[in-house]
Amino acid sequence: MDLFAQISADTPSALSRADGLGTLKAFLPLAGKHYAAERNFDKGRGQHLSVSWLSAYIRRRLITETEILQAVQARHNFSSSEKFISEVFWRTYFKGWLEMRPSIWSQWLTEMPAGLADSRYLQACSGKTDIACFNEWAAELRETGYLHNHARMWFASIWIFTLELPWQWGAAFFMQWLRDGDPASNTLSWRWVAGLHSRGKHYLACAENIEKFTQNRFAPYGALNEGAMSLTGAEPPLAVEPHWPALPARKRYVLVIHGEDCHPESWTLAGAPEAVIVLPSWMGNLVLDSQNRLRDRGLDRLEDTALADTAGRAQAHFDCPVHLLASSEGGAMDEMDIAMLARQISALASQYDVQNMTTSYLPVGAWRQNFATLADCLAPENIHIDQVIREYDRSCWPYAKRGFFPFKENIPRWLRDFS
């Protein structure tokens, strides 16, 4: 199957590890000098053929960063592939940065919902502005769940500095529709554009740059605020490194899989599980108010395909019963529904006569929030849940205490360690 042809026609309607590996294989020849030369060009929907298309798979770890880095190193030398490798590590940096400052996410959740009914927000999201390129990007995002990375930067800059809308609202629009929407990458990218991540260093979209890198499709001269000052705000909180979990002691347990990490075959585990439980995708969503959720229900359905694929692989790998807990068609996701889910899980624990469960580490985001509620519901049943963390995360995340460039200095060492 020609994966690039499929992508250019439309974004895939399902996610699987096999398709992720196929997409990586198709992209590998382009990951060196071609990517470095062409990566900034947004040629329009259906024509994004110089980027990897791996983000939706990495977001759910259907394929892992380590696998991607190893494959790229096997094909290209570091000097030719450095641009692509740096993009992989930008995501890692953002994950680690937010992990040590989780209040940034919590604050965004409280600040963002107030704008979702604002007429200015609705007009911008509908692509009803006087800026043609912005309108096209808004439509592409809603209709495909994807935007080229350069377009994401332009869009965010126009949103903040030309339309003068709160960055929190724009981050909400992206999270609602992006197939690769990630709490860390999305929230912190918007803060970076605004000048709140690296204080005073903001990103301004300019017409000349847009004209060049859209290959003359758009030339919004006179329509953009190209002289805006950086936003101001409170200093980010100091980094506080969490207590990373240790490998749990060997004991009988049930393995629990969630949408943050869909490759349990590569988890470090203390023996084989008695059974596997795969959680429903709505655990990765949040109710914001009576009208809005963190992400569109279509993204829940997309994530369900990834979780179903993971369930099949888990059954083959662990050779034990697998329980794929069904998603509610209505997308239920309040504490009462989590309590009902906990009763299902408690019954399975009794069925297998275990009181211990193991899952992969849950980073900051909706999955972690809902899982914490689930764990609280299971605690009275004396069910204990251990988390295991990937060595990649344990090695890289603690270095995200400052900016990306001090973090980046460690990349050659990490590439050697994970080769």
Domain ranges of the chain: 3-100, 105-213, 254-388
What pLDDT is stored for residue 200 in this prediction?
82
Question: What fold, for 254-388?
Answer: Rossmann fold (3.40.50)
For the chain, 419 residues long, give each residue's pLDDT as a single digit of tens: 333 333 444 567 899 999 999 999 999 999 999 999 999 999 999 999 999 999 999 999 999 999 999 999 999 999 999 999 999 999 999 999 999 999 999 999 999 988 899 999 999 999 999 999 999 999 999 999 999 999 999 999 999 999 999 999 999 999 999 999 999 999 999 999 999 998 889 999 999 999 999 999 999 999 999 999 999 998 999 999 999 998 888 899 999 999 999 999 999 999 999 999 999 999 999 988 778 899 999 999 999 999 999 999 999 999 999 999 986 655 556 778 899 999 999 999 999 999 999 999 999 999 999 999 999 999 999 999 999 999 999 999 999 999 999 999 999 999 999 98
What pLDDT is stored for residue 330 in this prediction?
54
What pLDDT is stored for residue 47 in this prediction?
95
Q: How far is CA 123 from CA 71, 80, 156, 164, 221, in A?
A: 43, 42, 15, 13, 22
What pLDDT is stored for residue 335 in this prediction?
75
CATH class of 3-100: mainly alpha
**Which tokens sit at 99?**
């992990």
What pLDDT is stored for residue 199 in this prediction?
85
- Tell me the whole-structure pTM to 2 decimals: 0.95
Q: How far is CA 364 from CA 97, 105, 223, 260, 416, in A?
A: 10, 7, 37, 10, 28
CATH no. for 105-213: 1.10.579.10
